Structure 1
Amino acid sequence: MVKRIVPALLVGLLLILQAQIWFGRGSIPKVTQLRHELTELEAKNRLAKLRNDQVASEVNDLQDGLGVIEELAREELGMVKPNEVFVQVAYGPGS
């Protein structure tokens, strides 16, 4: 009787372990699914990073562009910001 219990117990443990491998929380199908999801998320992250870099570039271009526009407006149109004092220096004919 004991000779049959030990092998049956070992076979039962083997079946439990196999069930965990194939159907448990860390099973092979679950790991494959998670790897697939990871690949998709990494692709989405790459696209989002590319878009973020484009937006950052556009923001920098706009900031630099506004500086150039402001400089031209000050020189050619005499633009003065609020709370600024405009000082004009006139040079005479002998300067």
Structure 2
Amino acid sequence: MRVITVILIALVLALQYRIWFGQHGVKDYRELQNDLARQEQINATLQQRNQLIEADIKDLRNALEAVEERARNELGFVRPEETFFRLIPMHEEEID
């Protein structure tokens, strides 16, 4: 009877070792959970960025003012009846 008990205890310990430290065990499960959490955070960030881009596209398609503003800021658009002034800040070294 003692031999069977010792064999069963050894078998349970061997199975517990595989569960906790073996391949596809708890360690791998926790690593996969961490990877999943990181990927969900990356996906949330990308989804937010995509929503901003989509809103920008809708604004450019529907509003002429948005197109003009972007042309002014990114391409230096100036209307024919306007005068363009460029203000260059003076550095402290040039003042003396």
1:31 maps to: 29
**What letter is aligned with 2:25?**
S
- Quick one: distance in 1 between partners of 2:62 and 2:23? 54
Equivalent residue letter for 1:59? I
The residue type paired with residue 36 of structure 2 is L
Write the mapping of 1:12-27 to structure 2, written as runs, cut at 5 A.
12-27=10-25
**What does residue range 1-95 of structure 1 map to in structure 2 within 5 Å?**
3-65=1-63
4+ long deviations beyond 4 Å: none
Partner AA of 2:15 in structure 1? L
2:12 is paired with a residue whose SS is: helix
Deviation at 1:26, TM superposition (A): 4.1
State how far apart, in whole Å, the 1-side matches of 2:18 and 2:33 are: 19
Q: Which has the larger radius of gyration?
A: 1
The aligned amino acid for 1:38 is: L
Q: Does 16-25 or 32-41 show the bigger shift? A: 16-25
> For the aligned residues, what is the CA RMSD?
2.2
Instruction: Give ranges in structure 1 of 5+ residues lacking alignment.
Output: 70-95
- TM-score normalised to structure 2 length: 0.57
Rounded to whole Å, the distance in 1 between the matches of 2:23 and 2:32 is 11
Distance 2:7 2:29 in 1: 29
